[in-house]
Structure 1
Amino acid sequence: MQERRRFVRIPENLQISYEIMPSVKSGAFITKNISQGGIRFFVHDLIPKNSLLKIKLTIKNIPFSFDAMVKLIWIREEPQSERYEIGVEFVNLPKKSAKTLIAYIKDILEVSHRA
């Protein structure tokens, strides 16, 4: 079966905070995986598909953090839990943030291939 993703995803636990736009709901979690195209993480709120969220992503070991807008592509309720797993894609990610994120992902992939 062929991989349908446009970007390689890496399993990475990074700090992420989110704000559902335009409401005032917000929260913070740890990412499950990330690519240059988007992020997979958990939230406590049932958020409608195609919603826009403002996020702040922190990469501690560089150190680097950035704000970005993302669009909710899919949402799945976690059984036996009061949370939801979501997949979001970046919307107009600033070039500096994109460049840093791509370099970070490449570094992680190189390290994992050496191991």
Structure 2
Amino acid sequence: MADRRKEIRAVVRLEVQPGSPSLRRPPFYVTHNISVSGMFLITSDPLPENTRLKLNFQIPGDSEKIQVLGEVVWCREKDENSPYFPGMGIRFLGISDRDRAIIDRFIQELIEEKTKGSSA
């Protein structure tokens, strides 16, 4: 699968709550990575592609919750022979400028920390 993502993403674990309790899903998902345009959610029971869902999460160090409308754009099934996490790729369809800026700032801070750590 070709990597078509254009945005910088950060590998980070965040709890993400689905905003629609009718989806018979777990109370929360965990991210594997995030960018300003989407995220990968780890789950052994991914939703079908093209499913839209509201997602709520909080960036560490920020007091405001972020709420986005996302769409499942691809899924990876559980495979015991694969080193990759099962889950689903989510593209953000609806995100406020404020929330986008919070995510962008968080990613830049993570990159700076990693750069400082590798040059020490």
Question: TM-score, with normalisation over the residues of structure 2?
Answer: 0.79
User: 1:111 and 1:33, CA in 2 relative to 1: closer, same or farther beyond 3 A?
Assistant: same
Structure 1 residue aligned with 2:32: 32
- Contact persistence 2:59–2:103 (CA under 8 A): no
Task: Show structure 2 runs of 5+ residues with no match.
Answer: none
Structure 1 residue aligned with 2:42: 42
Structure 2 residue aligned with 1:87: 89
Task: Show structure 1 runs of 5+ residues with no match.
Answer: none
The amino acid across from 2:100 in the alignment is A
Structure 2 residue aligned with 1:69: 69
More helix by share: 2
- Contact persistence 1:15–1:59 (CA under 8 A): no
Secondary structure, counterpart of 1:34 in structure 2: strand
Runs of 4+ in 1 over 6 A off after TM superposition: none
More strand by share: 1
* 1:3 Cα deviation from its structure 2 partner: 6.1
Identity rate, percent: 21
* 1:46 Cα deviation from its structure 2 partner: 4.0
Structure 2 residue aligned with 1:98: 100
Question: TM-score, with normalisation over the residues of structure 1?
Answer: 0.82
Structure 2 residue aligned with 1:11: 11
Counterpart CA distance in 1 for 2:46 and 2:15 is: 20
RMSD after superposition: 2.4
